[in-house]
Amino acid sequence: MLSPERGGMGCEDGSDWRLGSCRPAHRRPRNASGPALVLRWCDPHGLFGNTKAVGKRLDGIFGAIGVELSWKKCTPGSESGRPEIRVVLVHSEASGWDLDAEAMGANLSRSGPQSQVYIFYNSVVRALGHSPKTLSDRWLSARETRELSRGLARVTAHEVMHAVLPELPHAEDGLTHSELDRDALLDGEARIDEAVAKAFQAALVKE
């Protein structure tokens, strides 16, 4: 079962949010050179307003494996000219895309530069134990915002890793497991196998 969060927003390594950033002990220092990952968050329906919180969660996940994240929002004509992955938050149900009704994410475009992944908002909400209709009818509580930012970040990281590593098989546990339940989306650290982390870094360098 879930452990209560303490001290406000939790970090991806399970520690508390302090001084506006998460600083896992094993994270590569900011001044060290590491592969760069550019993600552009696209939320055309305005489903989740706290883009910054999702970005901080993702920064914790990828920073822990030595990857420097550049987190941007989609704006009209937003093209960085650099290899990037667009993360599109989708309002429609996964079943309408000929996917399993419970699917939370998909990578349906080509891999490599300018690829695109899709996150099914309603599926993530249900996986966290909430009702999409209920949440759409009112403002989110602080707890719901924390849970959604963490859940959306972890599903995004999962799909991004598949976009960068198209042949990546699902792991038996951790972030690249084929099924991420509520516990996997919220509890403890978002674990990434060391071999997968190294392959991910190598693929980013090649781009």
Span 85-106, mean pLDDT?
Answer: 92
pLDDT tens for residues 124-144? 999 999 999 998 888 999 999
Question: Does 2 score more than 80 pLDDT?
Answer: no
Q: Which of 146, 151, 149, 106 is nearest to 128 (CA)?
A: 151
Confidence of residue 205 (pLDDT cuts 50, 70, 90): confident
Dist. CA 163–CA 84, nearest whole Å: 11
Helices (H), ranges, 44-193: 51-63, 121-127, 132-136, 142-164, 182-186
Indicate the residue type of 68.
Answer: E
Report which listed range, 41-55, 67-81, 108-122, is most confident: 41-55
Please tell me which residue, 12 or 166, carries the higher pLDDT value.
166
Instruction: Collect all residues with Cβ–Cβ distance below 8 Å to 96 and sequence separation of at least 6.
Output: none
Q: How confident is the model at residue 1 (pLDDT cuts 50, 70, 90)?
A: very low
- Read off φ and ψ for residue 78, nearest 5 degrees: -75, 105
Residue 207 has pLDDT above 90, yes or no: no
Average pLDDT over residues 23-41: 65
CA–CA distance, 55 with 179 (Å, rounded to integer): 22
